[in-house]
Amino acid sequence: MGENLRVLIYGLGPIGALVGKYLDRKAGVELVGGVDIDPAKVGKDLGEVVGLGRSLGVKVVHERDALTLMKAVKPHVVVLSTGTYLDKIYPQIVRAISVGANVISTSETLAYPWYRYPELATLIDEYAKKHNVRVLGTGVNPGYVFDTLPAVLSSVAVEINRIHVVRSLDAAKRRYSFQKKYGLSMTPEEFKAKISSGEITAHVGYAESVMLLACILGVKIDKVDEGQEPVVADKYMETQYFKIEPGRVSGIHGWGVGYVGGKEFIRYDLYASVGRQDYDEVVIEGEPNIRWRNDLGVSGDIATAAMVINMIPRLMKAPPGLITMKDVMTPSAFLGDFKWFT
Ligand SMILES: NC(=O)c1ccc[n+]([C@@H]2O[C@H](COP(=O)([O-])OP(=O)(O)OC[C@H]3O[C@@H](n4cnc5c(N)ncnc54)[C@H](OP(=O)(O)O)[C@@H]3O)[C@@H](O)[C@H]2O)c1
């Protein structure tokens, strides 16, 4: 038997904390460090910050001390859950790789980084290979509902004409940072202005999921289209965090479409608003037709933590470099050219 898997959590918001809390229950895992910039977390015990209700004897450090900490504790894996955009988290990834750590992150744009950040993706890939480690972006979405799940469901199809995934969820049940970034209680004008300026994002990753799924299936996408519009409340509503007057934003409808030969090949619809029914549905039109539905809805935050935790063993076995869910899964259909494998 080998040594314990040493894990450091970098970014201890709701997601990083949840990953830490569930990782603590896993055999053979040792939480060796925590990094954040929030003064409310820095200096506290990691066990307290992730909500274990007991001390782990490990203090959360500020990001400026991250490199020193990582050199001292030598994590096998850094769980990175600080942010969405790869250009912002790039220095954090480089820091982790430089000490020989593998990186698994919930950054949405890292799920298929060649779409939005091809140069950074190449740099990370080369640097990770040089240090013999792997870097993976995953989560519930991107990472599962819009990409890995339909890929796995497609395994029993010999022809596919179109894939349509619908994710419908009640925004009132989600964490504060989720409700805030979806613009709850804003006017529709404010929502549109803040989405345009990047002040709020709502969902990020429609295009990444399109490209990831197409890449797994061996299909070349000609064009990707993505967008989001506000859902407006027709009556007063409230969540644990927001009071929403009629006419104000109660959620979003977002979409991502991948075209092949001028026709929709992949289509995603995300409905996330207060009071909305929770469900996920995948329809694959092909031979044979496939329809899958989860009437409970794939849970958001726990599913993200689960994806991070469950992918760690696969990450450790994957080839070095910048990888995607394509490299750690997967039964799926393959629609590309079989010559690629000869
Ligand atoms: N792929 C998926 O399915 C999926 C699912 C859920 C979440 N996500 C993404 O995962 C990320 C984490 O989610 P979350 O809800 O926990 O986000 P969050 O509430 O923004 O928490 C992020 C934490 O990281 C800290 N932080 C920010 N910059 C940092 C830095 N440079 N160094 C160290 N710590 C830093 C933040 O501190 P401050 O609060 O002081 O800024 C905060 O404590 C987000 O980008 C989210 O969009 C992806």
pLDDT digits (tens, 9 = 90+) for 302-322: 999 999 999 998 999 899 999
Amino acid residing at 26: K
Q: Express each pLDDT in 33-81 by its tens digit.
A: 999 999 999 999 999 999 999 999 999 999 999 999 999 999 999 999 9
Of 131-135, 220-224, 300-304, 319-323, give the lowest mean pLDDT range: 300-304
C-alpha of residue 15 to centroid of ligand 1, in Å: 7
- DSSP H helices, 26-73, are 46-49, 66-73
C-alpha span between 33 and 56 (Å, rounded): 10
Q: What is the CATH topology of the domain spanning 148-298?
A: Dihydrodipicolinate Reductase; domain 2 (3.30.360)
Domain span(s) for CATH 3.30.360 in the chain: 148-298
| pTM listed for this prediction | 0.95
Q: Which atom of ligand 1 is nearest to the CA of 15?
A: 16
Question: Residue 338 pLDDT > 80, yes or no?
Answer: no
Q: State pLDDT tens for residues 82-115.
A: 999 999 999 999 999 999 999 999 999 999 999 9
Q: What confidence score (pLDDT) does residue 145 get?
A: 98
Q: Ligand 1 centroid to 263 CA: how many Å?
A: 36
CA 22 and chain centroid, separation: 17
DSSP character at residue 199: S
136 lines ligand 1 (CB under 6 A): no
- CATH 3.40.50.720: which residues of the chain? 5-139+303-328
Who contacts 313 (Cβ-Cβ below 8 Å, separation ≥6)? none
Q: How far apart are CA 30 and CA 309, in angstroms?
A: 13
Secondary structure element (H or E) that encloses residue 223, with its range? strand 223-232
Mutate to test the pocket of ligand 1, among 36, 85, 308 (most ligand atoms within 8 A of CB): 36
Nearest-CA neighbor of 173 among 107, 234, 232, 251? 251
Contact 37 CB / ligand 1 (< 6 Å): yes
d(CA 19, CA 119): 29
Best residue among 8, 12, 15, 69 to mutate for probing ligand 1's pocket (most ligand atoms within 8 Å of CB) is: 15
CA 93 → CA 11, 53, 73, 80, 309, distances in Å?
12, 30, 17, 8, 18
Pick from 137, 132, 46, 115: nearest CA to 258? 115
Measured between alpha carbons, how far is 98 from 211 in angstroms, rounded to an integer? 29
Tell whether ligand 1 has an atom less than 6 A from the beta carbon of residue 12: yes
Under DSSP, the state recorded for 4 is P
Please tell us whether the domain made up of 5-139+303-328 is placed in CATH 3.30.300.30.
no
Taking the centre of ligand 1 as the mean of its atom positions, its distance from the CA of residue 278, in whole angstroms, is 24
Nearest CA to ligand 1 atom 21: 13
